[in-house]
Chains A and B, each alone.
Chain A
Amino acid sequence: MPETFILIPGRTAKQGAGISEGKFEKTYQYEINHLQVSPQDMERLGIEVGDRVRLTGEHGQVEVDVIASKGDELPPGLLFIPYGDISSRLMGAETHGSGMPTSKGMDVEMELINKPA
């Protein structure tokens, strides 16, 4: 059963360094394709590191692998993903007269789709 979370895309040092290595290279692609979930939410929903989840927002849908956020970096109910191609697929083009699409604090439904073999 999908559950609604608030997704925060943002910069990470690895994502930034990955841009310099190349956007098609391993570091960048790994970083932008991994979703951070709080350990409390993972335990509550039976999600483990490496599980694949589907995120569905108002404007799009993506599939990503899960990693646990470190310590208490993320409060329950919040998800984090390094900013890039995947997070931007959940953005709409509407900017509400600002030029800026809503790119942080987006409502998404998270659904477990499979566990690694």
Chain B
Amino acid sequence: MLKEKKRMATASTTVETTGDDVRVIQDATCTFCGCVCDDIDLTVKDNRITQAKRACVLGKAWFLNHEIEDRPSCLIEGQPATVEEGIDRAARILTDAIYPITYGLSDSTSEAQRVAVSIVDWIGGIVDTTTSVCHGPSGMAFQGVGEVTCTLGEVANRADFVMFWGSNPAESHPRHFTKYSLMPKGMFVPNGRKDRTCVMVDVRKTKSVRAADIHIQIKPRCDFEGLWTLRALAQDIELDPVQVLEDTGVELAAWQDLMDRMKACKFGVIFFGMGLTMTRGKHANSEALLLLTRDMNKYTRFTCKPNRGHGNVTGADNVVAWRTGYPFGVNLSRGYPRFNPGEFTTSDTLGRGEADAAMIIASDPMANFSQAARDHLASIPYIALDPKETPTTRAATVAFTVATYGINTGGTVYRMDDVPIPLRPAFESPHPSDFDVLTGIEKRVKEILADRSSSSS
């Protein structure tokens, strides 16, 4: 059967329609991980994505498993309710609380993140994002010593030395190598992979190690020692080989060889992962890596980037920083922002039993937090917004089923290198977007606060 094809362009979406109600969305954006690949062609039939061209294994799972959840858009204490009723109950929970915390945000559009920060500002609460249990320690290090950074486009076009430290992109960011860091033939690396040296520093021989030229199998919990060994070698400081082997599990000669290569490259980049931030040393590890990067600029051009997990966790950092001056763990209860990881971060406020209400946006602390934090969250009223059912939505006082960003809603997300990328949705959802729900909650919060203000004056 001949299919008549016609193309129509909207503001940001190119849609190709064929017969049989099949549409192709060109250059759709995948929001599963921080690579935010924006070159995916989606074939859509009957509100179902049947093909996701160029998507990786994670992107295919993200798009092809997407279906409109057959659940009410709102549940209050497990019972179906209207969205308006849910918004009213949510606003009352937040305005009645003394120490409410808003957490998550890394799988929402930046437009929705912005509204969430506004709500926290109105109610005088805490805003924290999944960054605090991801690259939060790196965020602290950025604030402490700064970041010599670059875009992924610069890496693709310039980097002839690419190191991954505590990161396994073959499993967590499957197109990282092919789209950005190893395989691309760039302006100054015309032969692609052949022009680059790739080093993996990891306690395990991960799947990513297969793509590397050199694997430094560092001793667990000794990243700080390894990074300071390199810092010393960058300064030509003589080190004791026995001590270095004992401290890092790696021969001094291997560290020296690595440093020689780092000094000799034209453009170096270190991508670092949660192998640094989740282990002993945390922000001190990230700080050491940032300082090493800075040191290397005495010899050549050197940059670093954290490999970010969620699709818009970088946007969450950006939006919270625009609005408050700090990237996560911000307390607005005094009417001005205060930043103190360890005090205003969610794992701590829940684990210590301090928060008396919560709003959880697109994240799952009931599955990913410590038992003490989960137990406390279960004991307080909280609101959850998520496209899917999770342990967190199941136990929420008010649970909203929201449309999936990037598939059902447009907006903006930030790639892991802080580049904003527009979303090109494939089809509409009967569920509201998190932007719509949060906008409704903000409006209702303002009404309640205005009523209280007028009745008390």
Contact = CB atoms under 8 A, between A and B. Distances in A.
Contacts of A16: 32-33, 57-58, 61, 171-172
A100 B139 CA distance: 11
Given A17-B58, A95-B341, A101-B133, A22 B347 contact: no
A104 B206 contact: no
A43 interface: no
Interface residues of A, number: 44
B298 interface: no
B122 interface: no
A59 B347 CA distance: 14
B57 A93 contact: no
A21 B60 CA distance: 11
B348 interface: yes
B171 A99 contact: no
Given A88-B368, A95-B347, A72 B171 contact: no
A98 B280 contact: no
Given A73-B204, A80-B204, A94-B351, A24 B136 contact: no
A20 B195 CA distance: 36
B345 A13 contact: no
B422 to A, nearest CB: 22
Interface string B341-382: 110011110111000000000001001111111000000000
A33 B129 CA distance: 26
Given A85-B368, A94-B351, A75 B133 contact: no
Contact of B136 (A59, A72, A80, A99): A99
Interface stretch (B228-236, B264-272, B383-391, B428-436): B383-391
B283 A78 contact: no
A103 interface: yes
Interface in A89-112: 89, 91-105
Given A60-B371, A98-B282, A8 B203 contact: yes
A98 B32 contact: no
A20 B128 CA distance: 24
A89 B367 CA distance: 9
A86 to B, nearest CB: 9
Contact of A78 (B140, B171, B204, B342): B204
Contacts of A100: 132-133, 136-137, 277-278, 282, 341, 345, 347
Interface of B: 32-33, 57-58, 60-62, 65-66, 128, 132-133, 136-137, 140, 168, 170-172, 174, 203-207, 217, 220-221, 274-275, 277-280, 282-283, 309, 328-329, 341-342, 345-348, 350-352, 364, 367-373, 388-391
Given A16-B33, A73-B205, 18 more contacts: A6-B221, A11-B309, A13-B58, A20-B58, A59-B371, A71-B205, A73-B207, A85-B368, A88-B370, A93-B351, A93-B369, A93-B370, A95-B341, A98-B342, A99-B342, A102-B278, A102-B282, A103-B279
27 contacts: A6-B221, A13-B57, A13-B174, A16-B33, A20-B58, A20-B66, A22-B65, A74-B205, A75-B203, A78-B203, A84-B367, A84-B368, A88-B368, A89-B371, A92-B351, A92-B372, A95-B341, A95-B347, A96-B282, A99-B128, A99-B329, A99-B345, A99-B348, A100-B132, A100-B282, A104-B279, A105-B221
